[in-house]
Amino acid sequence: MTGASTAPTVIPVGSDYDVVIGGGVLEQVADLLREGVERVLVVHPPTLSGLADRVVGLLTDKGYAAEPAEVPDAESAKTSTVAASLWGRLGRAGFTRSDAIVGVGGGTVTDLAGFVAATWLRGVQVVQVPTTLLGMVDAAVGGKTGINTEEGKNLVGAFHPPVGVLCDIDVLRSLPEADFVGGLAEVIKCGFIADPVILDLVAQDPTAARRADNPRLRELIERAIRVKADVVAVDLKDNAVREILNYGHTFGHAIEQVEQFSWRHGEAISVGMVYVAELARLTGHLTGPEGDDLVAWHRAVLESVGLPTTYRPDRFEALLTAMSRDKKARGSTLRFVVLDGLAEPARLAGPSEELLRAAYELVSVR
């Protein structure tokens, strides 16, 4: 449950850093900075200027020279132009390699702040303060940073773990419902790939799951973060195990690109999960009545919280082109994360275009 009176939960990501989860934990932001920091740049979107000012105040009270840096909202923040503007701010303010950046915002801001931190003087500290459900359970945890190009999403980036992550669940109360529900896609993803209790918690009361005042929200967030933390701890640079976190993302990222990022990330990933579930059934990874039930469960759980499970029928060629640029592709070979069963992720490499199109037909609405 939320509230400052509840002790925070601390989830270690290997031996590298901690994720602090709870109500009112924003007050701990200065505690996560490591020795030697003097200057801090607080990166935030226009909608969170008040919260960013609060973070600046908390840091200033601890003796840091902190200043806010506003960036555009949503995916428009993740460009080389915006990154260059932040590099300019750092240079003019005299930031050294021992100084730090704090990212306050959703996944786009934490991606951008992390990338700028990774590239300024070849790496400075970054503390992530995600303010959306998506940011808390996905973008801010794991050390993946990046910006977009016209050719695709997150194609330019670096692995740069934060020195700490603060997930203050009280800030979710002001999050628009559509954005909150979009974040649930990444929570549900963790249920399918590793922790089925998440799916049970959502299925018990889908209406409550859609709300930030859900009494089980903190448990859902903690379970999803533990899934990611456990994976990242053994595979920081996405060489093997970490790939399972991309369940639904190859097709989902393609939707985002084709729709020019007008779809929320979680909405696209929701369709992407149904797509790879159908692809798993077509390729023999999911078989028999149990496989059919698992595919149906994808649709049931996702639809129960208001997430989409279908896509338009006239975009296959564009989606295929977008998927070919996916970071998980190897040469001309497309790679997908699929399931052999509930919480049994596997890899599928090089399915034929015929199979890819057949799965697309199964998620298309006419």
Write out the binding residues for NAD(+). Answer: 73-78, 131-132, 144, 153
The owner of tokens 């149990």 is: 290
Burial class (CB in 10 A: 0-12, 13-18, 19+), 235: middle
Structure tokens at 290: 């149990």
Burial per residue of 249-265, b for 16 or more beta-carbon CB atoms within 10 angstroms, e otherwise: bbbbbbbbbbeebebbb
d(CA 47, CA 70): 9
Length of the chain: 366
C-alpha 130: how far from its chain's center? 10
The owner of tokens 């599928």 is: 348
Sequence ranges of the binding site for Zn(2+): 186, 249, 265
Where helices occur in 283-348 by DSSP H, the ranges are 288-304, 316-324
Sequence ranges of the binding site: 73-78, 131-132, 144, 153, 186, 249, 265
Amino acid at 125: Q
Q: Find the helix or strand (DSSP H, E) in which 206 lies.
A: helix 206-209
Q: How many C-beta atoms surround the C-beta of residue 242 within 10 A?
A: 18
